[in-house]
């Protein structure tokens, strides 16, 4: 389970024709900006004025929501008693702290200690996936362009795997220590591309805000999870799926695709100015996300082999002393093929703990410094 390719993957997926050169500096100098109602910081040096304005208007929309109808699953998914505008705002702000574009301005991660101590040992994410990869984001309509990515939990997972601690250097030159998957650093790229939107013709529609918020709640969920579910990484889509063989599905029932879809559904149910076309397009996005949740997943080859080996053992024992074979052994023997088949297709009803982990001790080297004369 390696994360070594993530930075390469990010670089590859970003637009290359755009750079924060002197000619484009005007894009980042805004005359006036609307009031951001959240604590989420928007990168001045890598997001254009237009992009920041869009995000702030989405946050204002969320802040002013009056939710009359409710998605039946959402409160349980978000672990809130009731879904309200305040609860949605709070949930998002706990998991997203900073939004930037990794393709513009200088940013990156630096290792600040080679002796970091994490709360729990590193656990491979799953035992049945080849290479899990986070941050696929909501690639609703076509693959290859990423809309957004939770770079914070990815880097935390990678740091943990390597036993180091990372600091994030933002395009504004700020250093943010990556101490938990809740560090909340979100890189956006295709989030502002109209071709993804439910209504690409009328950009300032409610449906488009709902869609972008769905993407942000999806990314926010990647700030959760612990142990093997750290960051709720995506898993391979099964055979026969539209995205078969790609890390674009979830094996958990409360993962990022599920959260994004149900948030979109809740907002869509309360949409005031959605046209029939808007509703139909949003519904298709929700459907696309939910189709990525694997309800039945195969267990590992290892588990199947273990079961078959156990069956063989029982069979051999029964054959060597048939008169002493106990009733239970007989049952196991008869049920062996069924047991294997069952193990091959288990219903994934697991509800994973979304609590994040933390880096406990940042730098033991500091302790050595303190003890120096
Ligand atoms: Zn994702």
Q: Output the DSSP codes for 112-178.
A: EESS-EESS----S-SS-SS-B-------S-TT---EEEHHHHHHHHHHHHT-EEEEE-TTS-EEE-
Q: How far is the CA of 105 from the centre of ligand 1 (A)?
A: 24
pLDDT bin (cut points 50, 70, 90) of residue 12 is very low
Percent of the chain with pLDDT over 70: 67
Rounded CA separation 33/336 (Å)? 67
Q: How far is the CA of 234 from the centre of ligand 1 (A)?
A: 6
pLDDT bin (cut points 50, 70, 90) of residue 19 is very low
Rounded CA separation 177/370 (Å)? 21
pLDDT bin (cut points 50, 70, 90) of residue 195 is confident
The three-class DSSP label of residue 226 is coil
183 within 8 A of 152, measured Cβ to Cβ = yes
Instruction: Output 92 or 229, whichever has higher pLDDT.
Output: 92
- 275-321: per-residue pLDDT in tens? 999 999 999 999 999 999 987 655 555 555 666 666 666 667 666 66
Instruction: Output 164 or 215, whichever has higher pLDDT.
Output: 215
Q: How far is the CA of 222 from the centre of ligand 1 (A)?
A: 7
Percent of the chain with pLDDT over 90: 45
Q: How far is the CA of 162 from the centre of ligand 1 (A)?
A: 22
Which residues are bridge partners to 108 per DSSP? 169
Structure tokens at 48: 């254009």
pLDDT at 177: 92
Q: How far is the CA of 21 from the centre of ligand 1 (A)?
A: 31
- Buried residues in 300-338 as b, exposed as e (16+ CB within 10 A): eeebeeebeeebeebeeebeeeeeeeeeeeeebbeebee
* Residue 371 belongs to a domain: no
What is the pTM assigned to this prediction? 0.77
Q: Which of 2-11, 213-222, 314-323 has the lowest mean pLDDT?
A: 2-11
Say if residue 233 is in the same domain as residue 154.
yes
Say if residue 29 is in the same domain as residue 144.
yes
pLDDT at 235: 82
Say if residue 309 is in the same domain as residue 197.
no
Q: How far is the CA of 14 from the centre of ligand 1 (A)?
A: 16
pLDDT at 304: 58
Say if residue 156 is in the same domain as residue 113.
yes
Q: How far is the CA of 342 from the centre of ligand 1 (A)?
A: 29
Q: How far is the CA of 256 from the centre of ligand 1 (A)?
A: 6
Say if residue 248 is in the same domain as residue 313.
no
Q: How far is the CA of 143 from the centre of ligand 1 (A)?
A: 13
Structure tokens at 213: 């918020």
Name the phi and psi angles at 63, rounded to 5.
-65, -35
Q: How far is the CA of 8 from the centre of ligand 1 (A)?
A: 17
Mean pLDDT calculated for residue range 16-33: 60
Q: How far is the CA of 148 from the centre of ligand 1 (A)?
A: 8
pLDDT bin (cut points 50, 70, 90) of residue 213 is very high
282 within 8 A of 210, measured Cβ to Cβ = yes
Number of domains in the chain: 2
Contacts of 203 (CB under 8 A, 6+ apart): 194, 197
Instruction: Output 136 or 187, whichever has higher pLDDT.
Output: 187
Q: How far is the CA of 103 from the centre of ligand 1 (A)?
A: 19
What is the pLDDT of the chain when averaged over all its residues?
A: 78
Say if residue 202 is in the same domain as residue 325.
no
Say if residue 280 is in the same domain as residue 321.
no
* Residue 201 belongs to a domain: yes
Q: How far is the CA of 139 from the centre of ligand 1 (A)?
A: 9
pLDDT bin (cut points 50, 70, 90) of residue 11 is very low
Q: How far is the CA of 147 from the centre of ligand 1 (A)?
A: 10
pLDDT at 252: 85
Name the phi and psi angles at 237, rounded to 5.
-80, 140
* pLDDT over 90 (residue 75): yes
Q: How far is the CA of 173 from the centre of ligand 1 (A)?
A: 27
Q: How far is the CA of 165 from the centre of ligand 1 (A)?
A: 23
Say if residue 272 is in the same domain as residue 320.
no
Enclosing domain of residue 339: 301-344
Mean pLDDT calculated for residue range 85-113: 92
Q: How far is the CA of 231 from the centre of ligand 1 (A)?
A: 9
Q: Could you tell me the CA-to-CA distances from 167 to 131, 175, 277 in Å, in that order?
A: 25, 6, 45
Say if residue 289 is in the same domain as residue 324.
no
Tell me whether residue 102 is exposed, middle or buried, using C-beta atoms within 10 angstroms of its C-beta: 0 to 12, 13 to 18, 19 or more. buried
* pLDDT over 50 (residue 368): no
Q: How far is the CA of 348 from the centre of ligand 1 (A)?
A: 19
Cα atoms in the Cβ-side hemisphere of radius 13 Å centred on 106? 5
pLDDT bin (cut points 50, 70, 90) of residue 352 is confident
* Residue 373 belongs to a domain: no
Q: How far is the CA of 100 from the centre of ligand 1 (A)?
A: 17
Which residues are bridge partners to 188 per DSSP? 148
């Amino acid at each position: 389970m390696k994360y070594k390719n993530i930075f390469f993957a990010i670089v590859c997926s970003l637009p290359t024709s755009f750079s924060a050169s002197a000619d484009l500096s005007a894009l980042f100098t805004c005359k006036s900006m609307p009031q951001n109602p959240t604590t989420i910081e928007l990168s001045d040096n890598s997001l254009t004025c237009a992009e920041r304005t869009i995000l702030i208007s989405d946050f204002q929309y969320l802040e002013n929501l009056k939710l009359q109808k409710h998605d039946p699953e959402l409160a349980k998914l978000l672990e809130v008693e009731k879904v309200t505008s305040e609860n949605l705002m709070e949930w998002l702000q706990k998991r997203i702290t900073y939004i930037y574009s990794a393709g513009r301005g200088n940013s990156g991660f630096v290792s600040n200690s080679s002796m970091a101590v994490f709360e729990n040992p590193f656990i491979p994410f799953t035992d049945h996936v080849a290479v899990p990869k986070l941050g696929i984001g909501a690639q609703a309509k076509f693959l290859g362009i990423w809309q957004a990515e939770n770079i914070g939990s990815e880097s935390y997972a990678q740091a943990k795997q390597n036993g180091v601690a990372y600091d994030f250097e933002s395009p504004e030159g700020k250093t943010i220590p990556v101490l938990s998957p809740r560090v909340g650093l979100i890189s956006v790229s295709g989030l502002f591309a109209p071709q993804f939107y439910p209504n690409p013709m009328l950009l300032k529609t409610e449906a488009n805000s709902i869609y972008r918020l769905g993407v942000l709640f999806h990314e926010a969920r990647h700030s959760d999870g612990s142990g093997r579910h750290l960051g709720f990484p995506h898993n391979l889509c099964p055979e026969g799926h539209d995205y078969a063989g790609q890390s674009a599905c979830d094996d958990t029932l409360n993962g990022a695709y599920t959260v994004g879809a149900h948030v979109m559904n809740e907002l869509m149910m309360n949409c005031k100015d959605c046209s029939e076309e808007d509703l139909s397009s949003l519904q298709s996005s929700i459907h696309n996300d939910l189709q990525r949740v694997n309800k039945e997943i195969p267990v590992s080859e290892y588990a199947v082999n273990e079961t078959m080996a156990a069956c063989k053992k029982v069979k051999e024992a029964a054959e060597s002393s048939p008169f002493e074979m106990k009733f239970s052994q007989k049952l196991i023997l008869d049920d062996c093929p069924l047991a294997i088949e069952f193990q091959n297709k288990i219903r994934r009803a697991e509800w994973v703990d979304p609590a994040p982990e933390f880096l406990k001790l940042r730098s033991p080297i500091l302790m050595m410094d303190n003890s120096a004369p």
